[in-house]
Chains A and B, each alone.
Chain A
Amino acid sequence: MYEFGFTRPTSVADAVAAMGEEDAQALGGGQTLIPTLKQRLAMPVTLVSLSGIAEMQGIQSGDGQLVIGGATRHADVAAGAGAYPALAALAGGIGDPAVRNRGTIGGSLANNDPAACYPAAALASGATIVTNLREIGADEYFQGMFTTALEDGEIITAVRFPLPEAANYQKFLQPASRFAMVGVFVAKFADGVRVAVTGASEEGVFRWGEAEAALSANFTADAISGLSVPADGMIGDIHGSKSYRAHLVGVMTKRAVEAAA
């Protein structure tokens, strides 16, 4: 790692101020950032830890929604998001127990790794990303792999999830990293079904519109048999071809619908 300064503010305001310094970088749980720093692939001047900010911690539910502080750790979401069982289950399946004890929802969404789990939940749920500056709808937030609507210095303070009638997340593991090779989050709301796919696409997390339309009309696995995403644009690598990933999108979607229904 290159040398960097370290600060651990205790309020969002102080964190925002610290992030205003040149080449400051927010540190969530560090489960992706620290390995990146070890490889010397990033060179921040200062790391601004968000772990000491009480107002960014915790989970609240009510009014048909669940609000999770940006610095809330995966393990705490797994244990505390009972109002949204599919989300709790997703959080409980990220990485491994030690990773879940450090990694945060805000960190995951800010990084927007194309194989991360949370982006699928946020996009399928139509969540709202709350920052120190504004509120960003999930459909506007995700802008391709490792790319989001966040401006420099902007901090995710919370994520607001509307609670669906039914939902489920199915993840097919990449055998080595155990990130999602294909992860599909299906969420059924009164006004329709949303399907978000992570791990599969070169464009990062995406909504599978065709499946959404079919499932909105008929929320059964049969409704999407025969549908498939085009292999073109899928990730092809040593773990699986484009067409294999496209196939898995269908299988995982079907399983998610079966589990949710």
Chain B
Amino acid sequence: MTKVSMTVNGKAASGEVEGRTLLSAFLRETLGLTGTHVGCDTSQCGACVVHVDGRAVKSCTMLALEAEGAEVATIEGQAAPDGTLNAIQAAFQEHHGLQCGFCTPGMVMSAAALLKENPKPTEAEIRHYLEGNLCRCTGYHNIVKAILAASGQDVSAIAAE
């Protein structure tokens, strides 16, 4: 076992891990941050997306020891300390961008990474950026719409709401 230390959602976090311990396992099991989900074992589904040093990564495809000294952000750190949802979270609720909620943490974290890179993405850019995030409930309609809305764009013309 090796000690690993990092900053998670702005707070120092450390624990003993094996070489093979995945970042997702460290977050879920050692730190108890179970908002990061694991939905596959081939790096396809994106339920495990977190930010490491400001970049979206699949935490199930990264060793915890690779995050030594890194700044990690997870879904648990997205809302304000008083519980107020951030703009993306609020848009997902407003536009029904989630159903079962399992893919949602990864979707929100990917959306946050997108809007940081591209503050006003088009529909096509959003759909393309979400290539690594699978959702089985929504048919993606309201996820894409929510991200458009979170970026401050008018979504009133989009069908079916």
Chain A interface (Cβ < 8 Å from any Cβ of B): 1-6, 8, 27, 30-31, 34-35, 37-39, 46-47, 49, 51, 75, 95-99, 101-102, 177-178
Contacts and interface: CB of A to CB of B under 8 A. Distances in A.
7 contacts: A1-B20, A3-B20, A6-B19, A6-B63, A35-B42, A35-B61, A49-B65
Nearest to B133: A96
Given A6-B63, A35-B41, A96-B131, A101 B57 contact: yes
Interface SS of chain B: helix, strand, loop or mixed? mixed
B156 interface: no
A105 to B, nearest CB: 17
A46 B65 CA distance: 13
A102 B61 contact: yes
Contact of A98 (B2, B19, B49, B65): B49
Contact of B132 (A34, A51, A97): A97
Nearest to B59: A98
A39 B61 CA distance: 13
B42 A99 contact: no
A259 B89 CA distance: 40
Most buried by B among A4, A6, A39: A6
Contacts of A97: 56, 110, 113-114, 129, 131-132
Contacts of A178: 131
Contacts of A102: 57-58, 61-62
A98 B66 contact: no
A4 B132 CA distance: 28
B58 A99 contact: yes
B120 interface: no
Contact of B66 (A8, A31, A95): A8
A190 to B, nearest CB: 35
Contacts of A35: 41-43, 61
B18 interface: yes
Contact of B56 (A34, A49, A98): A98
Contacts of A2: 20
Nearest to A38: B41
B41 A39 contact: yes
B46 interface: yes
